[in-house]
Amino acid sequence: MDKSSLIYPLFVREGTNLEEEIPSMPGQYRYTLDRLPYKLEELSNAGVGSVLLFGIPDKKDERGSGAYDDNGIVQKALRVSKERFPELYYITDVCMCEYTSHGHCGLLCGHDVENDSTLELLAKTALSQVQAGADMVAPSDMMDGHTRAIRKLLDENGYKNIPIMSYAVKYASSFYGPFRDAAGSAPSFGDRKSYQMDFHNSREGVKEALLDVEEGADLLIVKPSLAYQDMITRVAERTNIPVAAYSVSGEYAMVKAAAANGWIDEERIMCEMAVGAYRAGAQLYITYFAEELAKCMDEGKIG
């Protein structure tokens, strides 16, 4: 456990001079491009070297075209960030839900998400992000075959050394609520249970992880973290590549709400949650508490 394993999720949006606090995630903000460098400087000074970028576009459409637009919000954020803080490591979320008018993670046929036709757009999104400066791509859409499609297109365009960190084990969880508020990505109808995993099922998670390794994933994510540490362990034991645990928005919001009411010690809970994920087998930890955990590591309170 050290600061190099921490990854901070960061929301970027269109506009100017805005640091817009997310109501359900106190202390977390949506940053416009002119305010983004101030946050990156804070992270760099804290010793948090990796960020995971999520984009919030001004306009959405049925095909989620803002995701693979070379002038999209994430692509612009990468250029700004790379110029100002080239020492940081930039990971980009590859998905359609923030960009589609219907809020689902792929193209629709009626009310069903079309897996295969979505793959081409996911690969285009990853390529566009890498061309803009992404150091790693992280597909979170849960379409079957997404890792293979992305790997193929990146390789064909000369990006064989860009790693893929796949959301291999992503459950259809109620812990995501605040994130959907933050990213404006709640589905306009139905839910995502047809392509995210049933949280009753542990065998499917291992199966999906092994398939992603076979397709060329370089790292795997288990999401959420707190209630799924058994899956972190299972995936870490069955695969030979690094595993990241994503401590999601609902976990963060619960800690913040309870701490605000004086019911828990926020720092101790935050550290204990992190230790649990590492103990379960995670080698990387994606968390909104990254800065605070880095400080605790410096002070010898964790690690």
Supply the residues annotated as catalytic. Answer: 170, 223
Residue 183 to residues 56, 92, 132, 240, Cα–Cα distance (Å): 6, 14, 21, 32
| 105 membership: H or E segment, kind and range | none
| 264 membership: H or E segment, kind and range | none
CA 90/CA 105 separation, integer angstroms: 22
Task: For residue 173, give the DSSP letter.
Answer: -
H runs (alpha helix) in the chain = 36-46, 73-84, 115-132, 146-156, 177-183, 203-215, 229-238, 249-260, 266-280, 290-298
SS3 170: strand
Return the beta strands (E) in 29-110 as ranges. Answer: 29-31, 50-56, 89-94, 108-109
CA 261/CA 257 separation, integer angstroms: 7
